[in-house]
Amino acid sequence: MSSPLAPVLARVTLVLGGARSGKSLYAETLLDGFANKIYLATAEAKEVERDAEMAARIAEHRERRGPEWQTVEEPLALTSWLAAHSTPDHPVLVDCLTLWLSNILGANRDVDGDIRALADGLGSCAAPVVLVSNEVGLGIVPDNALARAYMDNAGRMNQAVAAAADRVVVMHAGLAHVLKE
């Protein structure tokens, strides 16, 4: 069973878009009809308690998803979690890669190595995987080195994951545009 927006679920799907473009909602519709679905959150609710706006976003997402989703918070070890826990009958929605990128940058990890490992690991995931990521490279080039590094890394990450994905969709104003099928 799928919603009118949702095509047949690909093995690996990347959903890109800007802020509030409808990425997460669209990604969730791709898993409509599955009984055992996992929401792999890269934000930790306990870490955002001092950020009321982010806490509200998390609450909104949880309420919209409902109780049929199993939520797992994994801010850093995304690749190893997917390798260890994915099973064919438990599709996984990862939301979102750009927050994961922020987490690995903040932890002073090997960004290129983590991105490569994720892209390489997607091919061996047992579960269908839907990954959500922000497109951050469409605006003005930031005026500081940290923001430019983040934007550049996000672009490289999105390219690597898109190359590994079977399906890539970009969202604009709630409308899905298929880039790769």
- 47-75 pLDDT tens trace: 556 677 767 777 777 777 778 899 999 99
Query: Is pLDDT of 13 > 80?
Result: yes
Residue 125 covered by a domain: yes
Residue 73 covered by a domain: no
Work out how many domains the chain is built from and give that number: 1
Residue 104 covered by a domain: yes
Token pair 């090997």 is at which residue? Answer: 110
In this prediction, residue 1 has a pLDDT band, given cuts at 50, 70 and 90, of very low
DSSP state of 47: G
Closest by alpha carbon to 60, among 90, 95, 12? 95
3-class state of residue 27 by DSSP:
helix
Taking the alpha carbons of 57, 167, 77, 101 in that order, is the dihedral positive or negative? negative
In this prediction, residue 45 has a pLDDT band, given cuts at 50, 70 and 90, of low
Closest by alpha carbon to 139, among 122, 151, 156? 151
Residue 176 covered by a domain: yes
Q: Please give the full DSSP string across 129-160, using - where no structure is assigned.
A: EEEEEE--TTSPPPSSHHHHHHHHHHHHHHHH
Tell me the average pLDDT across 127-139. 94
Task: Give the start-end residues of each E strand in the chain.
Answer: 12-17, 37-41, 69-73, 92-95, 129-134, 167-172, 175-180
Query: Is pLDDT of 5 > 50?
Result: no
- Could you give the CA distance from residue 94 to residue 177 in angstroms, rounded to a whole number? 19
Q: What domain range is 144 assigned to? A: 12-68+78-180
CATH of the domain at 169: 3.40.50.300
Q: Is 61 a catalytic residue?
A: yes
Query: How far does Cα 44 stand from its chain's mean position?
Result: 14
Residue 3 covered by a domain: no
Contact 12, 122 (CB under 8 A): yes
Contact 72, 39 (CB under 8 A): yes
Catalytic residue among 61, 90, 172, 177: 61
Query: What's the confidence (pLDDT) of residue 7?
Result: 53
Closest by alpha carbon to 33, among 68, 67, 82? 68
Residue 31 covered by a domain: yes
pLDDT tens per residue, range 24-44:
999 999 999 898 999 999 987
Residue 7 covered by a domain: no
